[in-house]
């Protein structure tokens, strides 16, 4: 299926497949290509409307009978770390952060495989080889950075966590992160988010985009543990409030037709940017 807007990018819909977050449901995505010298402008605009980037594609869940996936972001200025998050920062105070161009290495891939095998052995990335990994990291038409975290090991610096991050006009978008699963006490996943909040604060950027929060999904529930969290729901960003109030079972009649979803997307005037 293809849906278009006049003088706008073309939007497509994927075929349904099993949802990776909620058992028994089917997933479908609305997506468009991200390419050319105006890719960054489109990425900025659609990220504010719940879209996420994967290589040269922008996508947003568009399931036929469910609207559980909600894009989430942290308001940097209002964020206050909890007691447990402050302990995480203290435990990882010796980690070294390096921000580099998005370039894949064998050390990154080894850590990525270790992470997948431990946390997502049955997920959609489980069979990703080193060439596909390199494409995920390096194929970006927008301003992206690879944030590496390392610790002092017996043989020098040891890579313990990595995050592929897009730099938007209003924040940092955490595209994909992975870390050493054999270090549970360090809470490295939380540490990566906390450090991105600090990077955004130092850069004067108001938001850190975390991807999708899915109420009812154990894999995604941790995001609700961060203060100043907003979710994109019914076309607007709103404070998450009490996470328990967000229903996870949706009536199919609540889901708008694809054509209406596309018509409601606000697109930048790309012609004016030429």
Report helix, strand or coil for 115. helix
Q: Is the model's pLDDT at 122 over the cut of 70? A: no
Q: How far is CA 272 from CA 37, 41, 46, in A?
A: 13, 11, 17
Ranked by mean pLDDT, which of 3-7, 117-121, 198-202, 216-220 comes out on top? 198-202
pLDDT digits (tens, 9 = 90+) for 175-207: 999 999 999 999 999 999 999 999 999 999 999
| 111-112-117-123 Cα dihedral, nearest 10 degrees | 170
Of 26-35, 132-141, 181-190, 239-248, the range with the lowest mean pLDDT is: 239-248
Q: Which residues contact 110 (CB under 8 A, 6 or more apart)?
A: none
Domain ranges, ordered by start, for the chain: 2-72+246-273, 73-211+223-231
For 73-211+223-231, the fitting CATH number among 3.55.10.10, 3.40.50.2000, 3.30.70.141, 3.40.630.30 is: 3.40.630.30
- pTM for the full model? 0.91
What's the average model confidence in pLDDT over 79-107? 97
pLDDT at position 240 is 95
What's the average model confidence in pLDDT over 129-152? 96
Percent of the chain with pLDDT over 90: 69
pLDDT at position 29 is 95
Q: How many CB atoms lie within 10 A of CB 177?
A: 20
């Amino acid at each position: 299926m293809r849906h278009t807007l006049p003088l706008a990018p073309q939007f497509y819909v994927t075929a349904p497949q099993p949802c990776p977050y909620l058992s028994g449901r089917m997933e479908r995505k609305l997506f468009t290509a991200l390419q050319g010298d105006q890719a960054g402008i489109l990425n900025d605009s659609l990220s504010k409307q719940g879209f996420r980037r994967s290589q040269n594609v922008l996508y947003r869940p568009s399931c036929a009978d469910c609207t559980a996936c909600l894009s989430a972001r942290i308001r940097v200025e209002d964020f206050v770390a909890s007691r447990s998050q402050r302990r995480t920062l203290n435990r990882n105070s010796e980690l070294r952060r390096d921000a580099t161009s998005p370039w894949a290495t064998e050390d990154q891939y080894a850590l990525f495989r270790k992470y997948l095998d431990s946390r997502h052995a049955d997920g959609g990335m489980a069979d990703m080889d080193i060439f596909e990994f390199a494409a995920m990291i390096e194929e970006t038409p927008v301003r992206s950075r690879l944030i590496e975290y390392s610790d002092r090991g017996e043989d020098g610096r040891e890579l313990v966590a990595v995050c592929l991050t897009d730099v938007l006009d209003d924040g940092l978008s955490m595209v994909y992160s992975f870390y050493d699963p054999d270090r549970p006490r360090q809470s490295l996943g939380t540490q990566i988010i906390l450090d991105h909040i600090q990077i955004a604060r130092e850069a004067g950027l108001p938001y850190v985009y975390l991807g999708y929060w899915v109420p009812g999904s154990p894999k995604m529930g941790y995001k609700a543990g961060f203060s100043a969290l907003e979710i994109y729901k019914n076309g607007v960003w709103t404070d998450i409030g009490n996470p328990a109030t967000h229903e996870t079972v949706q009536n199919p009649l609540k889901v708008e037709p694809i054509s209406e979803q596309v018509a409601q997307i606000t697109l930048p005037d790309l012609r004016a940017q030429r």
